[in-house]
């Protein structure tokens, strides 16, 4: 664990403090939330396997949030590796509809960071959410869960 010096807003005032993230993680701390995160782009995994990896590190796949999606989209290109795209913490049991995050909250079709015409549940088989380079540089797409991809882990602190 490494110490990361941050300024945290408490009651409208910014105070310095130390928040610990695992050594391979970075700290995200804004009014949108505070958590540790890491991009993985060299060990390509299925959605389920990626999730297992994040959980083993004390977190889960990154929950899609309107509040901070742009931040992760903007950084995706510079975090590219041998794996294509990044799994996120969202899926459905009915391909094409009723997506929920790994925390259980709904991810509506009106979520503003879906790629064009997504989610489409292609072939009635796409049920896991990825950030897809082919959709305007990492907007969201529902994809085949068994495909191996990079992923983003998130640990709430």
Containing 116, the helix (H) or strand (E) segment is none
Say whether residue 141 binds Ca ion (CB under 5 A).
yes
98: left (phi over 0), alpha (psi -120 to 50) or beta: left
Coil/strand/helix, residue 144: coil
Q: Applying CB under 5 A, which of residues 75, 120, 133, 148 lies at the interface with Ca ion?
A: 120
Q: How far is the CB of 14 from Ca ion (least distance, A)?
A: 41
Coil/strand/helix, residue 92: coil
Say whether residue 40 binds Ca ion (CB under 5 A).
no
Q: How far is the CB of 122 from Ca ion (least distance, A)?
A: 5
Say whether residue 147 binds Ca ion (CB under 5 A).
no
Query: How far is the C-alpha of 143 from the C-alpha of 32, rounded, in Å?
Result: 27
Say whether residue 130 binds Ca ion (CB under 5 A).
no
**Which parts of this chain interact with Ca ion (CB under 5 A)?**
118, 120, 126, 141-142
């Amino acid at each position: 664990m490494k110490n990361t010096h941050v300024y945290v807003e408490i009651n409208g005032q910014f105070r310095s403090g130390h928040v610990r993230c695992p050594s391979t993680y970075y700290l995200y701390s804004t009014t949108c939330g505070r958590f540790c995160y890491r991009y993985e782009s060299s060990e390509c995994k299925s959605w389920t396997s990626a999730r297992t990896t994040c959980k083993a590190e004390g977190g889960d796949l990154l929950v899609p949030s309107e509040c901070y999606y742009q931040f992760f989209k903007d950084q995706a290109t510079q975090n590219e590796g041998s794996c294509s795209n990044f799994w996120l913490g969202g899926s459905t049991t009915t391909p094409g509809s009723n997506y929920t995050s790994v925390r259980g909250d709904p991810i509506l079709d009106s979520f503003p960071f879906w790629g064009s015409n997504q989610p489409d549940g292609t072939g009635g088989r796409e049920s896991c959410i990825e950030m897809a380079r082919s959709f305007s540089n990492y907007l969201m797409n529902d994809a085949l869960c068994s495909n191996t991809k990079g992923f983003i882990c998130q640990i709430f602190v």
